[in-house]
Structure 1
Amino acid sequence: MTGTTNTAAAPANVSGVEPANGTHPAVADLIARSNRLGADKRNTNYAGGNTSAKGTATDPVTGEPVELLWVKGSGGDLGTLAESGLAVLRLDRMRAMVNTYPGVEREDEMVAAFDYCLHGKGGAAPSIDTAMHGLVDAAHVDHLHPDSGIAIATAADGEALTAKIFGSKVAWVPWRRPGFQLGLDIAAIKENNPEAIGTILGGHGITAWGDTSEEAEANSLWIIETAEAYINAHGRTRPFGAELPGYAALSDAERKAKAAALAPTIRGLASTDKAAVGHFSDDSAVLEFLASVEHPRLGALGTSCPDHFLRTKVKPLILDLPADASVEASIARLKELHTEYRTDYAAYYQRNAVADSPAMRGADPAIVLIPGVGMFSYGANKQTARVAGEFYLNAINVMRGAESLSTYAPIDEAEKFRIEYWALEEAKLARLPKAKSHASRIALVTGAASGIGKAIATRLAAEGACVVIADLNLDAAQAVAQELGGPDVAIGIRADVTDESAVQGAVDAAVLAFGGLDLVVNNAGLSISKPLLETSEKDWDLQHNVMAKGSFLVSKAAAKVLIEQDMGGDIIYISSKNSVFAGPNNIAYSATKADQAHQVRLLAAELGEYGVRVNGINPDGVVRGSGIFAGGWGAKRAAVYGVDEEKLGEYYAQRTLLKREVLPENVANAAAVLTSAELSHTTGLHIPVDAGVAAAFLR
């Protein structure tokens, strides 16, 4: 029950009629079905698979009925699919493509031809799987990547298992790269096997269909659940083999500690060619896999489903040391393995590249597995890194299912290369928007729940950075992180910068959340405004503990990560105009700001050899949104200057050369510029952001 011919029945089945206004009922059904299927990761991976519906609408040009195909467009995700994510094509023109198809050697040309089948304006770009949906004679078609289905698809005897598990209801399709010919193959199966409700696509996934949206969804779920039930009922109890002595999972606390210690090294290695953001997972399935005797063999075989290895690369880097290996030994071995991995990947590229292959994109691993600890995954941003890890977890589940029933047998290396270095994939990458100035950078901002810190965190996130919002007020920090986009963009943590263990905990949280650290902003502060004779020892110590000592502790903990990563980095101190300007009734605050300012110079001199830039910003009179001013500092300064507190910002503005009030966003602008590539050769600098205070000019 396979089809490989270059013919297909004209897809006549359509669903629904055109509404008087609003969304077409076939589209409404399609969106609802897609969202339900995509919400359950047992059905398909993030952004994987596609769904479609056919229906009749009125051509606005001719006034005549026209049969249309609505299909999930390139790059969309079923779980969040909306109507704007659909490509809309005329079926009559798609059918006509069968007659002009030049054959499998030139099938990529058909993707460009889809553009000439589009109906109306807008909509998503048609994906490579569009032919599968348009040519199959069914009103509704689903193509999904369920772990249970791919387990059958990657089993060495997948064809026999398909017949045994599903009978005549599901056909086997030998591996074929996604494209027009695959669409023809499945269309022929549907035509020649009227009892079939779908297919198992060798090495890839499943396809199912129905005359209604409900029937297509039911058929998809029946295939997935039947495969899952068969694996559970007939599979071996230890598909990955016996437990490997010494490779069992460490305790939760030990895993987190070792992961935090290894993360900077691993991220630096994974960023040799291009900076990457990381994600850490100690999912029980990963730990079980790494504790089993067969994990080296299976890991070396790599993934199979095209969506999997496009995200995870053809195979992971696996540390070949037991769980209790020391951090030092693990780091040394990881560096050796990384060198071997890069050599091996370059050889893979050279073995398979042809004259018109795209250039090698990079030889670093996207997945790094540490026995007893877990999995690090990497990508251009946090979401990409997280999804890569989810995809490798899918791959582990696939291997478990295939090994339970048979032997895991993914598609061969040459086919993997054809997918990874596909010209169509290269074109998709070329269409990605230009990276923002701080893309792939990870920032830790102290005192970031309000005022200047919040403004800096907001600006850095807007420029593409991942941001750790560190503040004494955990609820406020978490609220800011949620405002910025949630855990794929920012996390909120409680951090007392006067406590060395708390500071280390904040840095560990950053590296576990995003893989490492690139940029630190020492912003946490408070202010005590008193004349000398009223300033107590307690006042002095508190002021210096928070800002002078706190900045020292944060910089020290961060520098360890920056040095180990070997990727350079930035440390920014939010100092003050008061660090160089002597004002009345301000001994404790101004003295500690001067301390911070000199830390900038000292650390710039010390950390320059590691590519770490250290710079400062000297704001003044930042009243609006300021936690310090709201906490009583504003009232005290207003009393010193003899003005109403609500007029303090205006007072500060009028004493400047530019007569402008300084806002938190102005300081954030300076932080963004100082940490951008445009000032890559600048360190040890203090930038005034005070609207011009001549007495504070740097000399």
Structure 2
Amino acid sequence: MRTHPAVADLVARSNRLGADPKNTNYAGGNASAKGTTTDPVTGSDVELLWVKGSGGDLGTLTEKGLAVLRLDRMRALVDVYPGVEREDEMVAAFDFCLHGKGGAAPSIDTAMHGLVDAAHVDHLHPDAGIAIATAADGEALTKQVFGDAVAWVPWRRPGFQLGLDIARIKAENPGAIGVVLGGHGITAWGDTSEECVANSLRIITTAQEYIDANGAAEPFGPVLPGYEPLPEAERRRSAAALAPLLRGLASTDRPQVGHFTDSDVVLDFVSREKHPALAELGTSCPDHFLRTKVKPMVLDLPPTAPLEDVKARLRELHEAYRADYAAYYDRHASADSPAMRGADPAIVLVPGVGMFSYGANKQTARVAGEFYVNAINVMRGAEALSTYAPIDEAEKFRIEYWSLEEAKLQRMPKPKPLATRVALVTGAASGIGLATARRLAAEGACVVVADLDLEKATEAAKEIGSADVAVGVAADVSDAEQVAAAMREAVLAFGGVDLVVNNAGLSISKPLLETTEKDWDLQHDVMAKGSFLVSREAARIMIEQGMGGDIVYISSKNSLFAGPNNVAYGATKADQAHQVRLLAAELGEHQIRVNGVNPDGVVRGSGIFAGGWGAKRAAVYGVPEDELGAYYAQRTLLKREVLPEHCADAVFALAGGELSRTTGLHVPVDSGVAAAFLR
């Protein structure tokens, strides 16, 4: 079926607007087009409205993301509208206006697009526009900035009545190209898609140019002495030192993934005199505070304060934040309000260091941070021209705990088993490590692919998913500082670490008399010492987080089985196997479970076997190297070859939640080697 020209124009316009953050934030705003097509039932012309559906993003919008409604039925809703006290009922009525099969669910802003008498409509959340919308004298500023070209709409919660308001104001101002919505954003329109986008951009550009030309030079006040940003390297070390504690605090009610940013916008804001008071006022645009909560938690110590003092103060501030949020809920909740969703902050501001943001996954956490940057830009613009005056907290509560918002949350798909968990896998660029990283990501985890070769680690991470899913880091696990640096990268990427897989290894196959001291040291440095260093750093983070965790060792059947020409490898695997037992006994009080996986003969995809180990083991057993996997399989009880994915399955079984009371266990993944049975 051919795409209607109005739809093609709408999608192109939406993508153009959504591609530039100065126009609107991620998943913020919506756009629409009206047009005539043939009704396949009657053969007659029918007027349709195509509008971005609920939850979509303008920058990535496709035709599938549009809701399609009949305009005659949409307009007829005006006659049955029961009034503002019952306007939420109109969202369900949109379903009776839908045309055809499929399409996205209509959003709360559908009325705005359907009732405004214009062929094309854009509703956007540009920082410059919201700055005027949230200024104390926003109505007068709108007149001053735009003249008669843009009208003012007093604050009203999104819904059917707001659509009626804008439609009326457009009718009363025939020369207007759009409106500023108090406390909220902008809406523009046009007879063509080109005219509509031009009007949207004109409003945004005019607002920003006016702020730039007329705004105060330092709207946030002077820099507070001692609150200047730390140098970059010191800043990131401080962030990494604070991240596990902050993630644990932000996860008091439910586990969260973290994101860190030290952008110039954030660092400047938290260095300025007015930042505590402005942060306390909270955000205004509904798109902002639905993701950032009504206000952030702000550290009130300078960046040079001792680390332990900072941590102690953050614990105090978190307790106070939770009490304050609970009081906010109690002030405004009614008998039919949804239950409080959690009292932990979504945004934490640390002067001199940056901003930590939290969400149910990395994308949500990252976007929350991006929205708070939008909020800072809004506050700067409003303060530059006037005084920042966001909507009051009662209105914020009405939106945050709106029954429609609650229904949207309830429609969210059930999270995957490892959702919110951050996994770090060593030796993860190939073989068992790569298979494990892939499996953990597929089950919902954020994954840090650690490998000696940074290029390979980065390539593997990109193959697994975006930076919201996986990142690559370099790590020589035998080097304590490199291990610590890899862990710092992990906590800066995702907020912390919950699951570590000690997989990095190498194999030296020689008879005892040919095994050198260098061979012995190298084998033990990488696997015995390396596993110890990784586990030690991981345990520090997990204990600080207070969220429990998993450490899984990829050991070997050789930790139990005595084979020929294998003294260095077998001894270090036995070392790893006993580390499992020792750490399980020590870390249990912190709810950190330590388990092991004992594979045998994982040949296919193995970097170890490809690096010469396979040839040496094949020579020991007197078989061709390309038949080594089959040889290993034939000596097992099940006669089946073991692949990297089978080891990944075992890691998931141990860490996926079904074995929550299991620690100190070694799981054989060897198709049955009787000599390696645990006794």
TM-score tier by shorter-chain length is over 0.9
State the distance in 1 between where 2:322 and 2:291 align.
17
Shift of 1:591: 0.3
- Give the match for residue 568 of structure 2: 588
Alignment of 1:450-599 (within 5 A): 450-599=430-579
- Give the match for residue 397 of structure 2: 417
Q: Does 1:92 align with 2:72?
A: yes
State the distance in 1 between where 2:219 and 2:653 align.
53
State the distance in 1 between where 2:465 and 2:28 align.
23
Deviation per CA, 1:104-146, whole angstroms, max 9, x where unpaired? Answer: 0000000001111111111110000000000001010000000
State the distance in 1 between where 2:382 and 2:526 align.
57
State the distance in 2 between where 1:654 and 1:428 align.
54
Gaps of 5+ in 1: 1-20
Q: Does 1:149 align with 2:129?
A: yes
- Give the match for residue 241 of structure 2: 261
State the distance in 2 between where 1:580 and 1:645 align.
24
2:602 counterpart letter in structure 1: V
SS in 2 for 1:679: coil
Taking structure 2 as the reference length, the TM-score comes to 1.00
SS in 1 for 2:536: helix
Match for 2:52 among 68, 72, 77? 72
Alignment of 1:611-626 (within 5 A): 611-626=591-606
Shift of 1:493: 1.0
Shift of 1:483: 1.0
State the distance in 2 between where 1:95 and 1:324 align.
61
Alignment of 1:70-219 (within 5 A): 70-219=50-199
Q: Does 1:446 align with 2:426?
A: yes
Shift of 1:486: 1.9
- Give the match for residue 8 of structure 1: none
Count of matched residue positions in the alignment of Structure 1 and Structure 2:
679
State the distance in 2 between where 1:546 and 1:471 align.
12
State the distance in 2 between where 1:673 and 1:171 align.
60
SS in 1 for 2:147: helix
1:383 counterpart letter in structure 2: Q
Shift of 1:171: 0.5
Shift of 1:29: 0.4
Alignment of 1:370-381 (within 5 A): 370-381=350-361
Deviation per CA, 1:249-279, whole angstroms, max 9, x where unpaired? Answer: 0100110010000000000000000000000
Shift of 1:610: 0.5
State the distance in 1 between where 2:87 and 2:632 align.
69
Match for 1:325 among 301, 305, 314? 305
Deviation per CA, 1:82-116, whole angstroms, max 9, x where unpaired? Answer: 01100000001101100000000000000001111
State the distance in 1 between where 2:656 and 2:448 align.
18
State the distance in 1 between where 2:305 and 2:5 align.
60
SS in 2 for 1:138: coil
State the distance in 1 between where 2:397 and 2:451 align.
47
- Give the match for residue 278 of structure 1: 258
Deviation per CA, 1:459-516, whole angstroms, max 9, x where unpaired? Answer: 0000000000000111111111111112100001111001100000000000000001
SS in 1 for 2:357: strand
Shift of 1:323: 1.4
State the distance in 2 between where 1:474 and 1:148 align.
41
Deviation per CA, 1:134-159, whole angstroms, max 9, x where unpaired? Answer: 00010100000000000000000000
Shift of 1:677: 1.4
SS in 2 for 1:678: coil
2:541 counterpart letter in structure 1: V
Deviation per CA, 1:327-386, whole angstroms, max 9, x where unpaired? Answer: 111100000000000000000000000110000000000000000000000000000000
- Give the match for residue 225 of structure 2: 245
1:508 counterpart letter in structure 2: R
State the distance in 2 between where 1:174 and 1:194 align.
19
State the distance in 2 between where 1:555 and 1:174 align.
57
State the distance in 1 between where 2:637 and 2:40 align.
63
Q: Does 1:298 align with 2:278?
A: yes
Shift of 1:322: 0.7
2:358 counterpart letter in structure 1: Y
- Give the match for residue 395 of structure 1: 375
State the distance in 1 between where 2:620 and 2:107 align.
67
- Give the match for residue 4 of structure 1: none
State the distance in 1 between where 2:552 and 2:539 align.
12
- Give the match for residue 339 of structure 1: 319
Shift of 1:239: 0.2
Match for 1:693 among 667, 673, 677? 673
Deviation per CA, 1:25-78, whole angstroms, max 9, x where unpaired? Answer: 100000110001000000000000000001111111111111100000000100
Deviation per CA, 1:134-192, whole angstroms, max 9, x where unpaired? Answer: 00010100000000000000000000000000011101001000000000000111111
SS in 1 for 2:577: helix
SS in 1 for 2:209: helix
Q: Does 1:637 align with 2:628?
A: no
2:258 counterpart letter in structure 1: G
Shift of 1:676: 1.6
> Among the aligned pairs, what percent are the same residue?
78
- Give the match for residue 236 of structure 1: 216
SS in 2 for 1:280: strand
Shift of 1:625: 0.4
State the distance in 2 between where 1:673 and 1:175 align.
52
SS in 1 for 2:258: strand
Q: Does 1:42 align with 2:42?
A: no
Q: Does 1:651 align with 2:621?
A: no
Q: Where does structure 1 differ by over 2 angstroms across 4 or more consecutive aligned residues?
A: none
State the distance in 2 between where 1:662 and 1:116 align.
56
- Give the match for residue 14 of structure 1: none
Shift of 1:616: 0.3
2:626 counterpart letter in structure 1: E
Q: Does 1:610 align with 2:560?
A: no
State the distance in 1 between where 2:464 and 2:134 align.
41
- Give the match for residue 12 of structure 1: none
Q: Does 1:432 align with 2:432?
A: no
2:441 counterpart letter in structure 1: A
Q: How big is the alpha-carbon RMSD for the aligned residues of Structure 1 and Structure 2? A: 0.5
2:229 counterpart letter in structure 1: A
State the distance in 1 between where 2:609 and 2:466 align.
28
Alignment of 1:17-36 (within 5 A): 21-36=1-16
State the distance in 1 between where 2:473 and 2:34 align.
49
